[in-house]
């Protein structure tokens, strides 16, 4: 899918028909920590009569819990970010295949598991940001981040961060392990500081002058446009952004997604919930509520997301990328990326 459009044609799309009132319940295990998601849950319950029981926590804790619960797990649906954790859930045998014409038709093939065990529901672009006051020639590609010309200028998160793991895994997929290792070593050599903090902290590093270049997901910057983010919004005019690899593979996208739990006691309701999250109504809210990109093509973007501009997204199959996440972690360890 190419995310170079901020289509206004969404209104012309026929909204996905919501399930008839079904009653019953759904046990949702979610590591999405956004208060705005409340609207997704309440709208689903209003449309279907299905009550959602939520268990929220960090992704790794939820995976461990589901594994420990085994066949007795009450989990019906797992929601988490990003591809690395969705793959981990599959590898831990915590998910099951779903046959759904709705999901197959609405979610692009490269954004879902080849075995139909997980589906991407929203996207975030991994963007290069830079200090417009100090940079005349910012990096145009991910590979440029390893250019010695940028030594001591790059702020980026740790190797344990799932967004970085998936980014490096995508480089392995496109360029091979040797080139990916050279890249990771080059980025380490160019770091302005030891990796620290979250994506917003990388943007703050530009504002503070600690770094000239930073890597962050798109929705952290869009949020700073829409709301007052401490240490970013007041000086946001200082920060420029680059859509990486526009002359090549396109900008890397990572996912928030979900799947039906292997031992789901309410399997039918679980499938209905995933299908609802792929509806126009829910897809619009992923963007409006949390500044993300929808996975369904043609859905209207929030104003804060539109302001980021148009770009070409990498359309690599994320199931293929997921297969290289273990290699990516090995590379991180070998180059000393903390």
> Is the confidence at residue 297, as pLDDT, over 50?
yes
Q: Residue 33, preceding bond cis, omega within 30 degrees?
A: no
> Is the confidence at residue 22, as pLDDT, over 60?
no
Instruction: Note whether residue 161 is domain-resident.
Output: yes
Q: In this structure, are 266 and 162 located in the same domain?
A: no
Residue 33 has what pLDDT? 79
Q: What is the mean pLDDT of residues 84-109?
A: 97
Q: What is the pLDDT of residues 168-180, one digit of tens each?
A: 999 999 999 999 9
Residue 18 has what pLDDT? 40
* Spatial distance between the Cα atoms of 42 and 38, rounded to a whole number of angstroms: 6
* Spatial distance between the Cα atoms of 211 and 153, rounded to a whole number of angstroms: 5
pLDDT band at 8 (very low <50, low <70, confident <90, very high): very low
Q: What is the pLDDT of residues 44-61, one digit of tens each?
A: 999 999 999 999 999 999
* Spatial distance between the Cα atoms of 143 and 161, rounded to a whole number of angstroms: 19
Q: In this structure, are 212 and 275 located in the same domain?
A: no
Residue 23 has what pLDDT? 67
Look at the chain and report how many structural domains it folds into. 2
pLDDT band at 41 (very low <50, low <70, confident <90, very high): very high
- Distant-in-sequence, close-in-space partners of 326: CB < 8 Å, separation ≥ 6: none
* Spatial distance between the Cα atoms of 278 and 11, rounded to a whole number of angstroms: 16
Q: In this structure, are 28 and 177 located in the same domain?
A: no
* Spatial distance between the Cα atoms of 176 and 330, rounded to a whole number of angstroms: 14
Instruction: Note whether residue 278 is domain-resident.
Output: yes
Instruction: Note whether residue 69 is domain-resident.
Output: yes
Domain extent for 67: 23-121+254-303
Q: What is the pLDDT of residues 212-222, one digit of tens each?
A: 999 999 999 99
Q: What is the mean pLDDT of residues 109-137?
A: 97
Instruction: Note whether residue 6 is domain-resident.
Output: no
Q: What is the pLDDT of residues 149-165, one digit of tens each?
A: 999 999 999 999 999 99
Q: In this structure, are 86 and 223 located in the same domain?
A: no
Q: In this structure, are 144 and 231 located in the same domain?
A: yes
For residue 145, give the CATH number of its domain: 3.40.190.10
Q: In this structure, are 217 and 325 located in the same domain?
A: yes
Q: In this structure, are 184 and 242 located in the same domain?
A: yes
Q: In this structure, are 52 and 191 located in the same domain?
A: no
pLDDT band at 35 (very low <50, low <70, confident <90, very high): confident
Q: In this structure, are 41 and 186 located in the same domain?
A: no
> Is the confidence at residue 19, as pLDDT, over 80?
no
Residue 177 has what pLDDT? 98
Q: What is the pLDDT of residues 186-225, one digit of tens each?
A: 999 999 999 999 999 999 999 999 999 999 999 999 999 9
Q: In this structure, are 80 and 140 located in the same domain?
A: no
Residue 34 has what pLDDT? 74
- DSSP class of residue 129 equals E
Q: Find, among 75, 10, 128, 125, the residue nearest to 261 by Cα.
A: 75
Per-chain mean pLDDT for the chain: 93
> Is the confidence at residue 11, as pLDDT, over 70?
no
Instruction: Note whether residue 16 is domain-resident.
Output: no
Over pLDDT 90: what percentage of the chain? Answer: 90
**In this structure, are residues 162 and 313 in contact, taking their beta carbons and an 8 Å threshold?**
no
Annotated binding site for Fe cation: 33, 219-220
Instruction: Note whether residue 1 is domain-resident.
Output: no
Residue 37 has what pLDDT? 84
> Is the confidence at residue 5, as pLDDT, over 50?
no
Instruction: Note whether residue 7 is domain-resident.
Output: no
Q: In this structure, are 261 and 170 located in the same domain?
A: no
Q: What is the mean pLDDT of residues 220-245?
A: 97
Q: In this structure, are 172 and 290 located in the same domain?
A: no
Instruction: Note whether residue 11 is domain-resident.
Output: no
* Distances 233 to 134, 138, 200, 204, 219 between C-alpha atoms, Å: 19, 21, 11, 9, 13
Residue 168 has what pLDDT? 98
* Spatial distance between the Cα atoms of 48 and 164, rounded to a whole number of angstroms: 38
Annotated binding site: 33, 219-220
How many whole angstroms from its chain centre is CA 243?
Answer: 16
* Spatial distance between the Cα atoms of 299 and 223, rounded to a whole number of angstroms: 19
């Amino acid at each position: 899918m190419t995310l170079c459009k901020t289509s206004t044609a969404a209104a012309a799309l026929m909204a996905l028909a919501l399930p008839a009132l079904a009653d019953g319940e759904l046990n949702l295990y979610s590591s999405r920590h956004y208060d705005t998601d409340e609207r997704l849950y309440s709208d689903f319950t209003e449309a279907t009569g299905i009550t959602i029981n939520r268990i929220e926590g960090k992704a790794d804790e939820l995976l461990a819990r589901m594994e420990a619960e085994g066949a007795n797990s009450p989990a019906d649906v797992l929601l988490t970010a990003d591809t690395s954790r969705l793959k981990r859930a599959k590898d831990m045998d915590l998910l099951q295949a779903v046959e759904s014409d709705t999901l197959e038709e609405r979610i692009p093939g490269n954004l879902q598991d080849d075995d139909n065990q997980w589906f991407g529901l929203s996207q975030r672009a991994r963007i290069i940001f830079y200090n417009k006051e100090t940079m005349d020639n910012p990096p145009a590609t991910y590979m440029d981040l390893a250019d010695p010309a940028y030594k001591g200028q790059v702020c980026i998160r740790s190797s344990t961060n799932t967004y970085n793991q998936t980014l490096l895994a995508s480089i392995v997929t496109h360029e091979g392990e040797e080139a990916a290792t050279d890249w990771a070593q080059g980025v380490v050599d160019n770091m302005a500081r030891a990796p620290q903090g979250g994506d917003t902290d990388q943007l703050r590093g530009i504002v503070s002058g600690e770094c000239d270049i930073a890597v962050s997901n798109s929705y952290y910057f869009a949020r700073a446009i829409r709301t007052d983010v401490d240490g970013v919004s007041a000086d946001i005019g200082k920060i420029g952004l680059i859509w990486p690899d526009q002359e090549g593979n396109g900008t890397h996208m990572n996912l928030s997604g979900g799947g039906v739990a292997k031992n789901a006691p309410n399997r039918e309701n679980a499938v209905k919930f995933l299908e609802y999250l792929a509806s126009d109504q829910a897809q619009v809210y992923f963007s409006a509520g949390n500044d993300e990109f929808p996975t369904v093509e043609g859905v209207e973007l929030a104003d804060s997301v539109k302001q980021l501009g148009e770009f070409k997204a990498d359309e690599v199959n994320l199931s293929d990328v997921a297969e290289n996440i273990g290699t990516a972690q090995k590379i991180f360890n070998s180059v000393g990326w903390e």
